[in-house]
Amino acid sequence: MSVIHCSRWTFSLSGTRAFFAAFVCWMGYAAVFETEQNISAHYQVMQRISVIDSHTGGEPTRIIVGGAPDPGPGSAVERVVRFREQFDHIRRSVILEPRGSDVLVGGLLYDPEDVSCAAGVIFFNNAGYLQMCGHGTIGLAVTLAHLKRLEIGEHRIETPVGVVSATLLDAHRVAVRNVPSYRYRQAVSVDVEGHGRVTGDIAWGGNWFFLVADHGQTIDSQRSGELTDFALRIADGLERGGITGAAGGVIDHIELFGPPSNSETADSRSFVLCPGGAYDRSPCGTGTSAKLACLAADGKLSPGELWRQESIVGSIFEGSFEFAADDDQIPGATGDERVIVPTILGSAWVTGESELILDDSDPFRNGIC
């Protein structure tokens, strides 16, 4: 803003000209004064939210590090419920266009109830709240390291589905020991509109997944539109058929598996549809956990053995598992399942540090819904 001060002007005028010049000068002062008033009034209705962006194997994560409302005390689940009820507009402002995109996963940091944890986090995306997020936890650990708030080593992180651990191996590589995971149902048939029946497994990996191998699709990034459409029709079929995870848990992630692009570097390639309709650019941490649970249930992978899961964009997570201990908390499990504790290793990079501005006069302050 350029402010013009009349006091700097010099005049050598007289009579009508001098009067006219003085009038113009006064008008200028009045306009500048009014503009400054408007601008300062404007600033009073702006909210600023500090975020750090990163990507994990191509999938973006936006961690809120300042300026967001506190979800209050209690368990992680109580905080999610409260945040959703009172502050969902913050999720939409941070994630939706014009500040974000359908691909983005956000994370709200909070002081954990469990004091043995380094942080608590609530993950969300364009459609709502995620129970857990593997790529997001890797992004979170790298973000906290970038802020010098996390050192190399193992750290416990509180999430709505339980405590996970994130071991920061260097500035970019993180191993996430996820919540106990298991296959809930094997070979479930679903009617897919325009295709016929497909058969898949239902597994828990921190979110509910439907894992399909017999889909007849080529898993290729050039086909992301067709794969999205196909996976959405599977999700519709699950909903129409009333097919859920344990205790009615909504299956909101669909995984299509195929051969890796290079069998020297990966064991499988997957396309993962997330709730909200975007596909995961990473191999999906909770999805890889669900895959490990199915491999373990089929006896195709042993404890400690490595599984390299490639994403649709070619990034790779390394997964392995151990069998869960008797006292591991497993929501919905009956005791007959082969419950595992998966560990997922991936890399993330910080891509930006910024302050989002939410201006009350902006018609899209809370995102384009």
Backbone phi, psi, residue 226, to 5°: -65, -40
Active site residue 284: yes
Q: 335: buried, middle or exposed (CB in 10 Å: 19+, 13-18, 0-12)? A: exposed
If one asks whether residue 292 binds ligand PYC (CB under 6 A), the answer comes out as: no
Position 107 contacts ligand PYC (CB under 6 A): no
**Dihedral over Cα of 156, 54, 130, 225: its sign:** negative
Q: Which stretch binds ligand PYC (CB under 6 A): 110-118, 126-134, 194-202, 215-223?
A: 126-134
- Among residues 282 and 320, whose Cβ is nearest to ligand PYC? 282
Site for ligand PYC in 210-269 (CB under 6 A): none
List 286, 309, 320, 347, residue binding ligand PYC (CB under 6 A): 286
What are the percentages of helix, strand and coil residues in the chain, rounded to 5?
30, 35, 40
For the bound state, the minimum distance from the C-beta of residue 208 to ligand PYC, rounded and expressed in Å, comes to 11
* Interaction of residue 316 with ligand PYC, rule CB under 6 A: no
Q: In 162-176, which positions are buried (b, 16+ CB within 10 angstroms) versus exposed (e)?
A: bbbbbbbeeebbbbb
**Given 117, 274, 284, 294, the catalytic residue:** 284
C-alpha distances in Å from residue 6, one per residue of 3, 102, 316: 10, 51, 65
Residue closer to ligand PYC, measured from CB, 345 or 358: 345
Q: Does residue 274 carry a catalytic annotation?
A: no
Site residues for ligand PYC, window 22-41 (CB under 6 A)? none
CB neighbourhood size of 75 (10 A): 14
Using the rule CB under 6 A, give the single segment among 15-23, 129-137, 153-161, 300-308 that binds ligand PYC.
129-137
List the alpha helices (DSSP H) in 241-303. Answer: 285-297
Q: Is 274 in the site for ligand PYC (CB under 6 A)?
A: yes
Per-residue contact string for residues 52-81; x = within reach of ligand PYC by CB under 6 A: -------x----------------------
Beta pairing partners, 317: 309
Number of residues that bind ligand PYC (CB under 6 A): 12
Strand partners, 212: 200, 256
Residue closer to ligand PYC by CB (options 134, 367) is 134
Q: How far apart are CA 24 and CA 30, in angstroms?
A: 10
Select the residue interacting with ligand PYC from 121, 212, 256, 284 (CB under 6 A): 284
* The residue type at 253: H
Distance (Å, whole) CA 230 – CA 224? 10
Q: Cβ closer to ligand PYC: 68 or 130?
A: 130
Residues taking part in catalysis: 133, 284
**Under the rule (CB under 6 A), what is the footprint of ligand PYC?**
59, 105, 130, 133-135, 274, 280, 282, 284-286
